Amino acid sequence: MKSGSLLLLLTALTGGLLLSGCNDKGNEKVTMRFVNMDKVLQETGFAAQQASHLQAVRESLMAGEAKASESYAGMDEEKRQKASLADRQLLAVQWQAEKQAAHQRVTGMVKQASDSWMKEHGVSAIMPLSSAVAVSPEADVTEAIVASLKGKTVSFGTVPEITLKQDEKSKS
């Protein structure tokens, strides 16, 4: 009887110790802050930089489309339509890729600044304000992120240049 009671007591103590340690993360408090992405993009000028870059990309793609249209001159109507459709589809894919790349560069700059602020201030996470239902004014770090990004420019890389296959052949 004593060994059975002792075994039961030992099992209960072991279980209690295991359960009490499962959620023990010390006194670490999870802190979260929020940032208004739209406001950051507007006030840092990143939205305008992105729009300017995408306008240059659009102009380059439209110039490429015009150049391609000129090359259809000697084709019959069916070939001209097929070539035109294929070129438009290719340019549409390029346009989507350029928009996505520009967006990633801009959000990458904001993420980098947010990561630095988060580490400097011992915060667990910074989330977009748009994903919150309610936020206290103290939890909004938008102004701090804007201040850290003021005057910076986003590097979008070069604007794509459209060349035709016959242009490439004549250069080689």
Q: Is the pTM of this model over 0.85?
A: no
Please state, as a whole number, how many other Cβ atoms lie within 10 Å of the Cβ of residue 101.
14
Confidence grade of residue 26 (pLDDT, cut at 50, 70, 90):
low
In tens, the pLDDT along 95-110 reads 999 999 999 999 999 9
Please say if the pLDDT value at position 25 is more than 70: no
Confidence grade of residue 164 (pLDDT, cut at 50, 70, 90):
confident
Q: What is the model's pLDDT at position 105?
A: 97
Interatomic CA distance for residues 50 and 154, integer angstroms: 8
Establish if 171 belongs to a structural domain.
no
With CA atoms as reference, report the closest residue to 107 among 33, 43, 47: 47
The enclosing domain of 126 has a CATH number of: 3.30.910
Average pLDDT of the segment spanning 22-51: 85
Establish if 9 belongs to a structural domain.
no
How many structural domains does the chain have? Answer: 1
With CA atoms as reference, report the closest residue to 146 among 64, 42, 59, 53: 42
Establish if 167 belongs to a structural domain.
no
For a pLDDT cut of 90, what percent of the chain falls above it? 59
Please say if the pLDDT value at position 70 is more than 60: yes
Establish if 13 belongs to a structural domain.
no
Please say if the pLDDT value at position 33 is more than 90: yes
Establish if 25 belongs to a structural domain.
no
In tens, the pLDDT along 104-153 reads 999 999 999 999 999 999 999 999 999 989 999 999 999 999 999 999 99
Confidence grade of residue 69 (pLDDT, cut at 50, 70, 90):
confident
Please state, as a whole number, how many other Cβ atoms lie within 10 Å of the Cβ of residue 53.
21
